[in-house]
Amino acid sequence: MVMTEDEQSQAKFEEQSDAPLRGLLDRVEEISGGQTVDLKTVIEALGNRSFGPVLLLCGLFLLTPLGMLPGVPMALGVIVMLFSVQLLFRKSHPWMPKFLRRVKVSAKSLEKTRKFAGPWLDRIDNVVRPRFEWAARGPMLVFTALVAILLAATMLPLGAVPFGVVVPGFIIGLMGLGITGRDGFFILSGLALSIAVPFLIVQVAF
């Protein structure tokens, strides 16, 4: 069976396990073709590999000052929940609401991202590798999605507390990194740390 050019590109992307984050950035640049591209096109081209990066990015945003702004933790929580529910039901291509589909990514922004984040992505890629792969697929991936949904639900009570979303944000980022790199170590680490979140909520409530 002869593969189309797009299928060949996707297959090549799937094989980039030695540098998953750098491979993602390269794939997005390839999709854009040096032009402005909408987020819908990027997500659809990444297919089921887009779930991990979305969770990773949302987790990282929650660790920055952006995550401290009123309403932002809840908005990011909704995005995490939206993608996690689809991961839970093993959707091959994520569905996004219209306001996300319309987000544009310019070639200039991608170039700036490469220059700024490229060295950091290389460092992270040095420690991310396929291991404990049983934790990055099948029933464990479904369980991870369920935990991500529960963590996203904590954004409402914890978002009202200064730095309250840092812990769930860090955990979501860890699991997103593990899904992206098919590294079960980071997924299992995130799941283990998630046990502390209920105790955090109890402290906030009382």
pTM over 0.85: no
Look at residue 119 in the predicted model and tell me its pLDDT. 78
Look at residue 9 in the predicted model and tell me its pLDDT. 44
Distance CA 192, CA 143 (A): 12
Query: Concatenated DSSP letters for the chain?
Result: -PPPHHHHHHHHHHT--SSHHHHHHHHHHHHHTTS-EEHHHHHHHHGGGGHHHHHHHHHHHHTSGGGGSTTHHHHHHHHHHHHHHHHHTT-SS----HHHHT-EE-HHHHHHHHHHHHHHHHHHHTT---BSGGGGSHHHHHHHHHHHHHHHHTHHHHTTSTTTTHHHHHHHHHHHHHHHHTBHHHHHHHHHHGGGHHHHHHHHH-
Sites in the chain below the pLDDT cut of 50: 1-16
